[in-house]
């Protein structure tokens, strides 16, 4: 079974304790869709009035559950979430659409809501029909067992080739009230081996109009998940959903959100950032977490593109795996980004030590502190383009034999 033999990532962080989020009842169960000896279905049920925000893969060949969620999101309301692990329901044609319809209908009957208030996500093999009846049969007993304390189990039940469960939580003030924002995520490549997908689910007890919630989620994802890359491949199923139950009383939030949500938005962003970095820490074969800071670009967008060019360069990533402070490859990756750059104004540093400045190596450059930094689990790269004030930060992991081992073997 996929993932069975993978050693836990050396970059693993222990799962924090996720307290109940008022209004959220959740649980996990077994549908034996692909995995036979573990929980593979996760359910969350929300009270009437729960709003929802979502961000999905930009891949042009999305999975059926992504299509389903995009349509359901138009209503802005959610009463339930059903997640399966083992089969992604991607590239499954009409059968895949029917699986979504039947699952949503079965869940809606249980929760007493409309099918388009049910959200769906699946992760696993591409191109195999999902055995719908196994899934729908598993829902009623699971619905009967829901509770408030299932976050840790849910973080495990959504895993495929992940080597550790991932969660994060924060509290925030809205007026005088304290609300919780908690989330779980799975994914260990932008697409995991045959186990496509990065899935991320957040819930809060705040009462936030869907439009304002969407704006906060979008901004948070742009600064977190959209700044993390493992292997430059974009899953067909990437999904981030944020549910707001409104179970905690606080001053009414206007439709457009506004300053009163500032602390809430901070909490959402922090949870997203924690979760995004956990994905990089569980990147396939990862031995080192890499942070790349680009400054001095002509714009923030340009800085982001340059940073992603470095983060996605196989030559930079293999150099870091080899603990080689190879700044020539960083120069190469800056230059190939296609963004404005001037070799003779460019500076490159590692671990806070500038190695190259203004188009040539720093005179008397001492490699010793850089070599020491490269031997650690967390490596930092600094690039100053020297042209403007645009800056960006992205995270990735190194490219190792482990990545080839995981992705270069047969599916079965």
The residues in 1-60 that bind a second copy, with binding defined as CB under 8 A, are 58-60
Work out the number of other CB atoms within 10 angstroms of the CB of residue 55.
Answer: 21
Token digits for 152? 């840790």
From 28, 99, 197, 245, the catalytic residue: 197
Nearer to a second copy, 90 or 244 (CB): 90
Stretch that binds a second copy, among 45-53, 121-129, 164-172, 217-225 (CB under 8 A): 121-129
- In contact, 380 and 348? CB cutoff 8 Å: no
Q: Binding of a second copy at residue 248 (CB under 8 A)?
A: no
The secondary structure of residue 291, as a DSSP letter, is: E
Please name which of 376, 279, 398 lies closest in space to residue 329, comparing C-alpha atoms. Answer: 398
| Residue 242: other Cβ atoms inside 10 A | 27
Q: For residue 105, what are the CA distances in angstroms to 110, 111, 129, 312? A: 9, 10, 18, 41
404/412 Cα distance (integer angstroms): 16
Identify the three-state secondary structure at position 40: coil
**What is the closest distance, in whole angstroms, from the C-beta atom of residue 352 to a second copy in the complex?**
19
Q: Which residue among 90, 130, 202, 277 contacts a second copy (CB under 8 A)?
A: 90
Six-digit token pair at 391? 């800056």
> Mask 309-328, x = binds a second copy (CB under 8 A)?
---xxxx--xx-xxxx-xxx
According to DSSP, residue 49 is labeled T
Report if residue 333 touches a second copy, rule: CB under 8 A.
yes
Among residues 354, 351, 312, which one has the least CA distance to residue 329?
312
Q: How far is the CB of 5 from a second copy (least distance, A)?
A: 15
Q: How far apart are CA 139 and CA 141, in angstroms?
A: 6
Min dist CB 57 to a second copy, Å, is: 8
Q: Is 103 a catalytic residue?
A: no
Q: Which of 17, 37, 74, 410 binds a second copy (CB under 8 A)?
A: 410
Distance, first Cα to last Cα, the chain: 8
Alpha helices in 224-299 (DSSP H): 262-281
- Cβ closer to a second copy: 74 or 411? 411
Of residues 354 through 373, those in contact with a second copy by CB under 8 A are 356, 358-361
Residue 196 sits in the site that holds a second copy (CB under 8 A) = yes
- Least distance to a second copy from the beta carbon of 6, Å? 15
Per-residue mark of binding to a second copy, 96-115 (x: CB under 8 A): x-------------------
* Size of site (CB under 8 A) for a second copy: 71
**Residue nearer to a second copy on the CB measure, 39 or 128:** 128
CA distance 86 to 41: 10
Q: Which residue has the tokens 């990147």?
A: 283
Tell me how far apart the alpha carbons of residues 202 and 46 are, in angstroms, rounded to a whole number: 12
Helix axes 93-111, 132-144, angle to 10 degrees: 20
Contact 330, 310 (CB under 8 A): yes
Q: Does 302 bind a second copy (CB under 8 A)?
A: no
- Please, what is the minimum distance in Å from the beta carbon of residue 95 to a second copy? 7
Phi then psi for 219, rounded to 5 degrees?
A: -65, -40
Instruction: Write out the binding residues for a second copy, residues 261-300 only, by CB under 8 A.
Output: none
Least separation in angstroms between residue 197's CB and a second copy is 10
Query: In terms of CB distance, is 268 or 280 closer to a second copy?
Result: 280
Least separation in angstroms between CB 284 and a second copy: 9
Among 120, 125, 240, 297, binds a second copy (CB under 8 A): 125
Contact positions with a second copy (CB under 8 A) in 153-192: 189, 191
Among 121, 168, 273, 331, binds a second copy (CB under 8 A): 331
User: Which of 119, 124, 41 is closest to 78 using CA atoms?
Assistant: 119
CB of 316 to a second copy, least distance (A): 8
Here's the x/- map for a second copy, 199-238, by CB under 8 A: it reads as --------------------------------xxxxxx--
Distance, CA of 260 to CA of 356 (rounded, Å): 45
Site for a second copy in 335-354 (CB under 8 A): 335-344, 346
Active site residues: 197
């Amino acid at each position: 079974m996929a993932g069975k033999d993978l050693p836990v990532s050396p970059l693993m962080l222990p799962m924090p304790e996720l307290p109940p989020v008022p209004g959220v009842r959740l649980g996990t169960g077994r549908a034996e869709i692909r995995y036979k000896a573990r929980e593979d279905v996760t359910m969350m049920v929300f009270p009437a009035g729960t709003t929802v925000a979502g961000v999905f893969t930009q891949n042009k060949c999305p999975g059926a559950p992504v299509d389903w969620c995009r349509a359901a999101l138009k209503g802005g309301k959610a009463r339930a979430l059903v997640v399966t692990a083992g089969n992604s329901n991607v590239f499954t044609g009409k059968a895949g659409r029917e699986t979504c319809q039947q699952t949503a209908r079965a869940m809606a009957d249980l929760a007493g809501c409309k099918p388009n208030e049910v959200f769906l996500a699946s992760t696993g093999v591409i191109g195999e029909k999902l055995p719908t009846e196994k899934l729908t049969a598993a829902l009623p007993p699971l619905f009967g067992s829901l509770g408030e304390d299932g976050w840790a189990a849910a973080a495990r039940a959504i895993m495929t080739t992940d080597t550790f469960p991932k969660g994060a939580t924060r509290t925030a003030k809205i007026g005088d009230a304290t609300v919780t924002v908690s989330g779980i995520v799975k994914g260990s490549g932008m697409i995991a081996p045959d186990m496509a997908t990065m899935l991320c689910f957040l819930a809060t007890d705040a009462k936030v109009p869907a439009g304002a919630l969407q704006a906060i989620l979008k901004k948070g994802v742009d600064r977190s998940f959209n700044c993390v890359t493992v292997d430059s491949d974009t899953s067909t199923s990437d999904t981030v959903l944020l549910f707001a139950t409104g179970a905690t009383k606080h001053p009414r939030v206007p439709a457009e959100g506004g300053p009163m949500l500032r602390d809430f938005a901070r909490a959402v962003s922090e949870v997203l950032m924690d979760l995004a970095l956990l994905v990089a820490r569980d990147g396939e074969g990862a031995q080192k977490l890499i942070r790349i800071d680009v400054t001095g670009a002509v714009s923030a967008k340009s800085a982001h593109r340059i940073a992603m060019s470095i983060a996605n360069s196989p030559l930079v990533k293999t150099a870091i795996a080899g603990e080689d402070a190879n700044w020539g490859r960083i120069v190469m990756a800056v230059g190939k980004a296609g963004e404005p750059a001037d070799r003779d104004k460019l500076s490159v540093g590692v671990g806070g030590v500038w190695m190259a400045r203004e188009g040539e190596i720093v005179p008397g450059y001492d490699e010793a502190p850089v070599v020491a930094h490269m031997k650690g689990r967390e490596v930092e790269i600094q690039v100053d383009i020297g042209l403007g004030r645009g800056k960006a930060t992205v995270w990735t992991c190194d490219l190792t034999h482990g990545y080839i081992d995981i992705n270069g073997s047969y599916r079965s």
